[in-house]
């Protein structure tokens, strides 16, 4: 299977309400979703899993972030970043 490379300039960038920029560094992969599930743990909820997934594929203000960093965002900002995610999981596995 051939992986399609997306130039960084084609990936979304958003400005948070505090003025910092969120830049996607790549599309999410299936392995990222699996890792996010492990990071969030058995008691993790959908928000935890989303934050764990996003932490693997975004930078905020040019620096890597953790799941916990993203959980500190204003909810409107968090939702905007989640909606902009390229390669966003969909279907039954997205709700697992």
* Average pLDDT value for residue range 11-20: 95
pLDDT at 53 over 80: yes
* Average pLDDT value for residue range 2-16: 75
pLDDT at 91 over 90: no
pLDDT at 94 over 60: no
* Average pLDDT value for residue range 5-25: 87
Query: Can you give the residue ranges of every domain in the chain?
Result: 8-95
* Average pLDDT value for residue range 48-70: 97
Q: Render the burial of 29-63: b for 16+ CB within 10 Å, e for the rest.
A: eeebbeebbebbeeebeebbbbbbbbbbbbebeee
95 vs 64 pLDDT, higher one: 64
* Average pLDDT value for residue range 5-28: 88
């Amino acid at each position: 299977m051939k992986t399609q490379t997306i130039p960084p300039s084609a990936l979304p960038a958003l400005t948070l309400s505090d003025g910092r920029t969120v830049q996607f560094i790549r599309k999410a992969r299936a392995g990222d979703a699996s890792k996010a599930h492990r990071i969030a743990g058995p008691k993790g909820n959908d928000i935890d899993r989303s934050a764990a997934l996003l932490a693997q594929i975004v930078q905020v203000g040019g620096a890597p972030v953790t799941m916990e960093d993203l959980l500190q965002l204003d909810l409107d900002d968090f939702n905007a970043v989640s909606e902009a995610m390229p390669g966003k999981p969909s279907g039954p596995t997205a709700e697992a």
